Amino acid sequence: MNWAVLDWEQRLYLTTHPFAYPLLRGLARRGPVVRVPGVGVVVSEASLARRVLMDGETFRKDGPGSPGDLWTPVLGPSVLLNMEGEGHRALRRRLTELFTPAYSDALCARVLAGPLADLAGRLAAGAEVDLVDTMRLMAGAVIGEVIGLETGGEAAYRHLFEQGERIVSMISLRTRRLSPDQVARAREVLDPLGDIAAKSYAAGDESTVMGRMRALGLSEDEARGAAGAFFLTGTETVATLVPRLVALLHDAGLLDAVAADRSRLDPAIDEAMRVTTPTPVMLRSVHRETDVGGVPVRPGDRVLIATHNCCRAYGPFDPDRPQPPELRRLWFGAGPHFCIGYPLAMAEIRLVAGTLLDAAPLTITGRAAARGVLIPTYRTLTVRRMR
């Protein structure tokens, strides 16, 4: 592999998934929808992917080969990740009120005030800062607040992040279900966190996320399951995005421009998410006969939405280019399963990115790709303020 001719995003994907990633990209060249024996029907076109995601009756998350196969043994039967139908709609209606933009902004501002002040101080002093380690701390602090962790501190927050990473790293792009041993290892992590969430839920303090879940009418089991789902799906997504956002802006020569005009930050975040695609694939199980892009599918078929292919079809990183409507944050899902944690993720990303941009001009002083993870990311990415 001639690493010199690859951009850093390609390097990250190839380091993390050296065999699956070339296969995934190769399928995009075969056509918008391809049936692959042993894998399923692979969708690599955004408008078709959106059609699948919007039709929760035909393409479901609770059948064979779906996310339910992965997460039900770990999280139980009643979390949004593995539900469909009226039960899913009822739970989602209650949870949607949980992370409003105003509440998410206030939660992140309160929880991250100290870590952000420390980050700003270190950058102002001219110190090198590893954004990977910084984001582990930030993401751990926010998810700790969500599940009701009473005693924090940097060591506790980093440990919390590492616990989630242990579970997610068991999964590859080819994983259909966890083995009994993997389920047991995941439960070793999640059961104590569920106990923390249940204690916060029982206290009923509506200033906490778990207390708000109780006030919204969720049962204790639903609150525990939701806390586990937030822990697994939200922590790494945010933590991996910020270093990659900074790297993309740096490599495109746009860091100073976005620092000078903050109206460009949200488009830059959306564009970074399109290019990095924090959810590179999504799974659905077919429940009734139909077709996808002219390819017939039958009940029991597995549909693999190659979100990364859908997103990368629109070219290299360019935050000044408007994204077409069929994308519309496809990396967060669409329709009945659009990520309800989106406002919380954006609040956290904006705050950390804003603090970094306040220290501009910045330069990257070193970086290396991570191995043994599910979401491609940097092992280290160090930045320093330029004098």
Length of the chain in terms of residues written: 387
Query: CA–CA separation, 139 vs 240, rounded Å?
Result: 10
What is the tens place of the pLDDT at every residue in 3-39?
Answer: 444 589 999 999 999 998 999 999 999 999 999 998 8
Instruction: List, for residues 148-185, the tens digit of each pLDDT value.
Output: 877 667 787 787 777 777 777 777 666 667 788 888 88
Contact 28, 41 (CB under 8 A): no
Q: What is the pTM of this model?
A: 0.90
Please count the structural domains in the chain: 1
Residue 39's φ and ψ, nearest 5 degrees, are -115, -50
| Domain harbouring 142, CATH code | 1.10.630.10
Model confidence band, residue 66 (pLDDT cutoffs 50, 70, 90): low
Q: pLDDT at residue 261 above 80?
A: yes
pLDDT at 2: 46
Please give the Cα distance from 206 to 229 (Å, whole number).
20
**How confident is the model over 295-320, as a mean pLDDT?**
94
Q: What is the pLDDT of residue 182?
A: 81
The whole-number average pLDDT for the span 72-86 is 65
Which backbone phi and psi does 382 adopt, to 5 degrees?
-100, 140
Mean pLDDT of the chain: 87
Residue, of 30 and 91, whose pLDDT is higher? 30
Is residue 249 very low, low, confident or very high in pLDDT (cuts 50, 70, 90)? Answer: very high
pLDDT score at 95: 76
pLDDT at residue 6, as a whole number: 56
User: Residue-wise over 230-258: b if at least 16 C-beta within 10 A, else e?
Assistant: bbbbbbbbbbbbbbbbbbbbbebebbeeb
pLDDT value for 363? 95
Mean pLDDT of 320-325: 92
What percent of the chain stands above pLDDT 90? 51
243 against 159, higher pLDDT:
243
Per-residue pLDDT at 34: 96
The range of the structural domain enclosing residue 72 comes to: 3-385
The tens digit of pLDDT for each residue in 192-229 reads: 888 888 888 888 888 888 888 888 888 888 888 888 87
**If you ran DSSP here, which 8-state letter would residue 58 be given?**
T
What burial letters (b/e) apply to 198-227, b meaning 16+ CB within 10 Å?
A: bebbeeeeeebbbbbbbebebeeebbbbbb
Given a contact cutoff of 8 angstroms between Cβ atoms, the answer to whether 292 and 65 are in contact is: no
Rounded-to-integer distance, Cα 16 and Cα 28, Å: 19
**Token code pair at residue 53:** 């995601």
Distance CA 363, CA 180 (A): 46
**Least confident window among 157-161, 279-283, 288-292:** 157-161
What pLDDT does residue 80 have?
58
